[in-house]
Amino acid sequence: MKSGMVLSKLIGAAIVLLILGCNKKDNSAGPDVKVPVVTTAEVSAIAQTTAQCGGTVTSDGGATVTARGVCWSTNQTPTVSDTKTTDGTGAGTFTSSITGLTKGTTYYVRAYATNSAGTGYGSAMSLTTLTADAILCVSLTSWSAPAERSMSPSISVTNCGNQTTFSYTVNKGYDWLSVSLTQGVSGTSFTITADTNKTGSERVGYVTVTATGISGSPDSIEVRQPSIPCGIISSISVGTTYEVAISNNYVYVTSLFTGLKIFLISNPTALTQVGSYQTPGYAQGVALSGAYAYLAEEFAGIQILNVSNPASPTLVGSYDTPDAAMDIAILGNFAYVADRFSGLQIINISNPEAPTLVSSYKTPGYAHGIAVVGNYAYIADSDSGLQIIDISNKVTPRLIGGYVGRCDMRDVVISGSYAYVADLCYGLLVIDISNPLTPMLRGSYDTPGYATYSIAVADNYAYIADEDAGLEVVNISNPGAPSLVRSYDTPGQAGGVAILGDYAYVADNWAGLQIIRICLQ
């Protein structure tokens, strides 16, 4: 019995010893635990008193790594007894920031990792701190840009303090400026582009170069740019001008007493007359299509000229309308004529040498201006307002809608869902024609001149020939609220206008043709 109890106690003691042996900590220095294995990273971002390094613990040696980092000294084999960083625990990669260095000094740095068996080290890396700060140097501090769109000289970004390479960013806060790059590194270059200045005055902008943590940053480049000349840049005396049209780098000008004049406009500051044609009546409106110019002659109907050679326009056909042809529009094989008290005349011009009347529609007023789009003819019918005529059947045109004006409508231009109408007394009227049956006034702008005779529309602007008040430029981006952008006084009485690029060509009555450079900004 006693021997059984003794045996039981011995067995229990053995179990206890076994459990205690199994619960020993894994970081105890046993015969199988070794110091960690660690590698040292390359040293980077070397400055006067700081640098970046780090390492990777590739093996914990069989026990938990309780500390890791880098140590450094002026000795070639630094240890943790020297200056060090502590950058976490365990295996893996870490990054270390080295601080407190002396400029112009050589140091040795190596990674370390510590466990219960001791400390392991990586290879030693050397570094020499800089004797001067990195300094941002930009080769251009100011640029006088010409008025026209242009590019700056190449602008280099360098480090004037030492050989360290740094990154930089380029920022511009002006819509009229652009840069060839927004991010770069020292030693590279960029350029600035300035758009054409159409503001009418000099403008100043800045481009900023920034390199974080670098002396001399940020640095700014000032850009100064004069405006292009705005307003009348040239004029030509060609008699009493009335209307203008442009095609293929030529401007066609009607003159009440001298017919048609043709000018080359490759250089707007110095137009060259290349051709002319003396018409039998008083030349009013002009429309261009293909090789032909179609003239509305107040007392001679329509005159059809072959202008394939602008230097030698020749008459190929004509048609005498019942009253006085004031304006003309071409669509396909048909000419649509605003014929004063005879209203709309539709003429077949498929054979320009023998134009023939197809039909007519007598409007209630004085047909003065006309525009044709799709199946509709829009007639500025003097005090009877805007007349909208369905011309889908050329033989039987019919009135489908209209808008009675405030005074005396003289010209009409169609753009999108709107008719832009020149009203003799009230300036610009914007009429919504999305439903031709029920056109509605959407907005208006009362020009300062007594009489508005002609309108041209380009992009979001209406250009109004406003007789004694010259040329009015109106922003129509919001059709419900047209607003004046600029006015250009002319010496005569602005009666017709055509737009090409930045230039307006204005028929200025007795003062001839005025060429105006438009500034919209």
Note the pLDDT tens digit of each residue in 388-436.
Answer: 999 999 999 999 999 997 789 999 999 999 999 999 888 999 999 999 9
Answer for the pair 56, 38: CB distance below 8 angstroms, yes or no.
Answer: yes
Say whether both 196 and 215 belong to one domain.
Answer: yes
Given a cut of 50, the residues of the chain with pLDDT beneath it are 1-7, 9-28
What are the backbone dihedrals phi and psi of residue 344, each rounded to the nearest 5 degrees, phi first? -90, 130
Answer for the pair 411, 368: CB distance below 8 angstroms, yes or no.
Answer: yes
Say whether both 123 and 60 belong to one domain.
Answer: yes
> Do the bridges between strand 118-121 and strand 125-128 make them parallel or antiparallel, or are there none, so unpaired?
unpaired
Where do we find the tokens 């170069």? Answer: 209
Say whether both 481 and 440 belong to one domain.
Answer: yes
Answer for the pair 419, 386: CB distance below 8 angstroms, yes or no.
Answer: yes
Containing domain of residue 107, as a range? 37-128
Residue 247 located in a structural domain: yes
Say whether both 290 and 332 belong to one domain.
Answer: yes
Q: According to the model, what pLDDT value does residue 14 have?
A: 45
pTM score over 0.85:
no
Q: According to the model, what pLDDT value does residue 407 have?
A: 86
Q: According to the model, what pLDDT value does residue 467 have?
A: 92
Residue 360 located in a structural domain: yes
Q: According to the model, what pLDDT value does residue 27 have?
A: 45
For the chain, how many structural domains are there in total? 3
Residue 32 located in a structural domain: no
Answer for the pair 334, 349: CB distance below 8 angstroms, yes or no.
Answer: yes
Task: Give the domain CATH number at 152.
Answer: 2.60.40.10
Residue 21 located in a structural domain: no
Say whether both 180 and 266 belong to one domain.
Answer: no
Domain boundary residue, one of 225, 255, 274: 225
Residue 17 located in a structural domain: no
